Amino acid sequence: MWIEELWRYPVKSMAGEALPEVALDADGLFGDRIRQVRDPSGRILTARTRPALLGHRAVLDPSRGVLVDGRPWDADPVAAEVASAAGPGARIVAAPADERFDILPLLVATDGAIAALRLDRRRFRPNILVGGVEGLAERAWEGRTLRMGECLVAARDLRGRCVMTTFDPDSLAQDLGVLRRIVRELDGVLGLNCSVLRGGTLRRGDVVELVDAASVDPGEPAAPRPSG
The tens digit of pLDDT for each residue in 115-149 reads: 999 999 999 999 999 999 999 999 999 999 999 99
Q: Round to whole Å and give the CA distance between 166 and 188.
A: 13
Q: Round to whole Å and give the CA distance between 20 and 24.
A: 13
76 plus 143 within the same structural domain: no
Angle of CA points 126, 26, 64, to nearest 5° = 70
Which pLDDT band holds residue 227 (cuts at 50, 70, 90)? very low
pLDDT, tens digit (0-9, with 9 covering 90-100), for 165-213: 999 999 999 999 999 999 999 999 999 999 999 999 999 999 999 997 6
16 plus 122 within the same structural domain: yes
Instruction: Tell whether 219 is covered by a domain.
Output: no
Instruction: Tell whether 9 is covered by a domain.
Output: yes
For residue 199, the model assigns a pLDDT of 97
Instruction: Tell whether 167 is covered by a domain.
Output: yes
Q: Round to whole Å and give the CA distance between 60 and 66.
A: 5
pLDDT, tens digit (0-9, with 9 covering 90-100), for 70-117: 999 999 999 999 999 999 999 999 999 999 999 999 999 999 999 999
86 plus 20 within the same structural domain: no
172 plus 123 within the same structural domain: yes
For residue 228, the model assigns a pLDDT of 33
- Per-residue three-class SS string for 14-46: CECEEECEEEEECCEECCCCCEEEECCCCCEEC
Instruction: Tell whether 66 is covered by a domain.
Output: yes
Q: Round to whole Å and give the CA distance between 196 and 169.
A: 28
- Tell me which of 71, 98, 125 is where a domain ends: 98
Strand pairing class (128-131; 106-110) = parallel
| Total residue length of the chain | 228
Whole-structure pTM value: 0.91
* Mean pLDDT of the 206-221 span: 74
Instruction: Tell whether 228 is covered by a domain.
Output: no
For residue 64, the model assigns a pLDDT of 85
- Tell me which of 60, 77, 98 is where a domain ends: 98
Do residues 228 and 24 touch, judged by C-beta distance below 8 A?
no
> Mean pLDDT of all residues in the chain?
93
Which pLDDT band holds residue 217 (cuts at 50, 70, 90)? low
Q: Inform me whether the pLDDT recorded for 153 exceeds 70.
A: yes
CATH number of the domain that residue 178 is part of: 2.40.33.20
107 plus 83 within the same structural domain: no
Do residues 82 and 58 touch, judged by C-beta distance below 8 A?
no
What is the span of the domain harbouring residue 193?
2-28+102-213
Instruction: Tell whether 93 is covered by a domain.
Output: yes
pLDDT, tens digit (0-9, with 9 covering 90-100), for 23-66: 999 999 999 999 999 999 999 999 999 999 999 999 999 888 99
Specify the number of domains making up the chain: 2
Q: Please report which residue ranges of the chain form alpha helices under DSSP H.
A: 76-86, 111-117, 176-186
60 plus 137 within the same structural domain: no
Instruction: Tell whether 223 is covered by a domain.
Output: no
Instruction: Tell whether 221 is covered by a domain.
Output: no
- Tell me which of 67, 98, 129 is where a domain ends: 98
Q: Round to whole Å and give the CA distance between 12 and 58.
A: 9
Closest Cα partner for 107 from 86, 123, 129, 139? Answer: 129
